[in-house]
Amino acid sequence: MGRQYVHLTTSPELALRIGRRRDPKPLLLEIKAQRAHEEGVLFYQANPLIYVADHIPHTYIMGPSITKILSEKKRPAQAKKESPPIERELPGSVILNLKMEPLHQKERGKTWKQRSRRHRRRQRRV
């Protein structure tokens, strides 16, 4: 997601609430923070409930096994040979037709806004 730090919280309820912003059924992972700190992982306190770290090695992360997670997900039933699904337009969506020619082929000069965005992208990579 382009973030610089791993965000952690001390409250499972808060972690689930934050996780539901992106996924209706977030996965809760537990970090062995004391052991990680003793072995050199740096944690920073962003506010009283949120901590951040540059990187959490996988040896300090605890959670359900991947096989359990995959078995809980519904596996799609093998589709019978049918016609391709009908494309329908949902509110706020656009169907992209790759065969269409672009409407405007003019080259625009670089504006200050485009240069500024490019500069910010370069700064994030550093």
pLDDT digits (tens, 9 = 90+) for 54-96: 988 989 998 887 777 767 665 555 545 555 555 555 555 555 5
Q: What average pLDDT does range 13-29 have in this prediction?
A: 89
Contact 56/36 with Cβ under 8 angstroms? yes
Number of neighbouring beta carbons within 10 Å of residue 101: 5
Q: What average pLDDT does range 26-51 have in this prediction?
A: 91
pLDDT at position 87: 56
The CA distance from 59 to 77, in Å, is: 35
pLDDT at position 110: 63
Beta-carbon contacts of 18 under 8 Å, excluding residues fewer than 6 positions away, are 7, 9
pLDDT at position 96: 57
With bands split at pLDDT 50, 70 and 90, how would you rate the model's confidence at 114?
Answer: confident
CATH class belonging to 1-71 = alpha beta
Q: Domain-by-domain residue ranges, the chain?
A: 1-71
pLDDT at position 99: 60
Name residue 91's amino acid. P
